[in-house]
Structure 1
């Protein structure tokens, strides 16, 4: 069992939060990375990746060229063995946008590993290292007793994160994500056209709005557990598509 250390003292005035981002290659994660880099109220950013990665793959060339030394670093990690990689996990804010689909993962077991086990291990390790705020991209309908496997996994993760008792825990629950994907999904194309017919809680939401909601919640630092539902996320400002930046 992990030993939970006392929480770090509040950051002194003027100190910038250290940030950890998992899932930075995904749709929400890429918007988060760009927003974090552009935010003068954010300190050094560590991007966790399961493979070697150049920042040019995620950020505009002009942005990469002007990044101050140490502003962003990429750390290649094995989520199966995070206990051996504590040196890259120190942070004040931890953003987790890890996720896949059952089709991509190949099985329910593999999906659960990526969408439940990896985020939970990340949360446990960063809690041990005294992170203040954990922010998760979950999903609308997340509920541990749901009849739907996808929603049940998301709900079980949320419940497990609550037991860790971070100073602040933010759970974003978006509906279907829209944005500039390399490979467009049929369901997303249909939802983008027919979303106006759906109830507010289920309307598609832009990935940039989810990223904006998470970053705003990080700055606000509300103690305890905070839910960002789909309606709240859809009220966030839109950002340019990644291809336009």
Structure 2
């Protein structure tokens, strides 16, 4: 049976990834690597392992990364919360890459599936710090050559609850309206995004392996929506929720996380 590790697990999307991983029952162990604990009271809660870490000293927690087949990164911040461009890059990029390197190093003989929550518009050549950093993260993780790398590039993250901010709430109203006319290309509720991130682990890739035998695949906002709504995927046949917010966890708010 598979096992999964999640960073960014206490944020608005990561908290739902944890819930979906446990609820589906397909993972024998789910490890949350975070700065604080999650109060999860849903199905299979005995499978949840919580590793409280200081990401500045992530090397001290190598053992938490061993023995997993899947790693999810839902980690992120904003320049405003970070306080400076330098701190933003350190938190958003360096913390993720340092943790990812440990995951790869601690599981050298396994076929690893890495699921990255990136952003629409991510591009390492972008003049905008946020998009440039997200693109650099993608490129650096691609260089690690995972057996399978699934990169999600959503639009606006909707229904973030009390983890959202005023301008985001205003933007969400417009994004929901745009979804209607753009066929779900503008934004996605974090509940649905969490479902999509987990569901992809149970589907074979439609992407052909590259010359080194590895798979790199990308998912747009619309494709994430379609994944989240599917009930024909093994382990999710009885999940009929397609957009209804279900509170299976009590969210621990960390403003720098997604």
Q: Please indicate the TM-score interval, normalised by the length of the shorter structure.
A: 0.7 to 0.9
Quote the Cα distance in structure 2 between the aligned partners of 1:88 and 1:183: 27
Does structure 2 retain, via aligned residues, the 8 Å contact 1:133–1:221? Answer: no
Deviation per CA, 1:142-179: give whole Å up to 9, x if none: 00001111000000110011110000111111111012
Does structure 2 retain, via aligned residues, the 8 Å contact 1:144–1:155? Answer: yes
- Count of aligned positions: 221
* Map of 1:34 onto structure 2: 19
Runs of 5+ unmatched residues, structure 1: 1-15
Relative to the length of structure 1, the TM-score reads 0.82
* Map of 2:202 onto structure 1: 219
Which one has a larger percent strand, Structure 1 or Structure 2?
A: 2
Deviation per CA, 1:200-240: give whole Å up to 9, x if none: 68512111221111112122253511111112113222343
Does structure 1 retain, via aligned residues, the 8 Å contact 2:185–2:221? Answer: yes
SS in 1 for 2:94: helix
SS in 1 for 2:126: coil
Quote the Cα distance in structure 2 between the aligned partners of 1:86 and 1:208: 30
Quote the Cα distance in structure 2 between the aligned partners of 1:183 and 1:208: 13
Deviation per CA, 1:41-67: give whole Å up to 9, x if none: 11111111123x2x32xx24xx27x63
Does structure 2 retain, via aligned residues, the 8 Å contact 1:191–1:204? Answer: no
| Structure 1 pair 123–194 and aligned structure 2 pair: CA distance change class (3 A) | same
SS in 2 for 1:75: strand
| Structure 1 pair 83–244 and aligned structure 2 pair: CA distance change class (3 A) | closer
By relative contact order (CA 8 Å, sep 6+), the higher-ranking structure is 2
Runs of 5+ unmatched residues, structure 2: 206-213, 230-241, 250-258
Does structure 1 retain, via aligned residues, the 8 Å contact 2:160–2:189? Answer: no
Pairwise mapping of residues 53-202 of structure 1 onto structure 2 (< 5 A)?
53=37, 55-56=38-39, 59-60=40-41, 63=42, 67-68=45-46, 71-90=47-66, 91-130=68-107, 132-195=112-175, 196-197=177-178, 199=182
Does residue 1:206 correspond to 2:186, yes or no? Answer: no
| TM-align CA RMSD | 2.1
SS in 2 for 1:191: helix
SS in 2 for 1:18: strand
Quote the Cα distance in structure 1 between the aligned partners of 2:248 and 2:2: 28
Does structure 2 retain, via aligned residues, the 8 Å contact 1:22–1:47? Answer: yes
